[in-house]
Amino acid sequence: QVQLVESGGGLVQAGGSLRLSCAASGRTDSTYAMGWFRQAPGKEREFVAAIYGGGGYTYYPDSLRGRFTISRDNTKSMMYLEMNSLKPEDTAIYYCAARILLQIATVASPDKWDYWGQGTQVTVSS
């Protein structure tokens, strides 16, 4: 069993930066993929980033590549999301997720992830 707890959300002005953290407990070695999703009001949960293989492999949707950076520290059982040049449309609840096996074809599918955190709110003001 894996438990995930996000932190670092808050209110930031457009153009600013924010760093989210995800603390993992339980079995979360490098064989687990970890990722971030977000969900804005009235919208479906959206894939933000994923990391696998001790940090050697990272995945982003084209729309976020270059502004967001995912990283992990397996020695601390932590994962991070660095968000830069934030826009009001980045406003959402951000969720940390983990899964046992990573299949690239389904990396962006929320229903293929096994464990979820409770989420942290990110609000970007214009």
pLDDT at residue 95 tops 90: yes
Average pLDDT score over the chain: 93
Helix H or strand E encompassing 7? strand 2-7
pLDDT at res. 101: 77
Token code pair at residue 17:
């930066």
d(CA 111, CA 31): 19
Mean pLDDT of 95-108: 90
pLDDT at res. 16: 98
pLDDT at residue 122 tops 80: yes
pLDDT at res. 55: 67
Q: Report pLDDT digits (tens) over 28-85.
A: 777 789 999 999 999 999 999 999 876 679 999 999 999 999 999 988 999 999 999 9
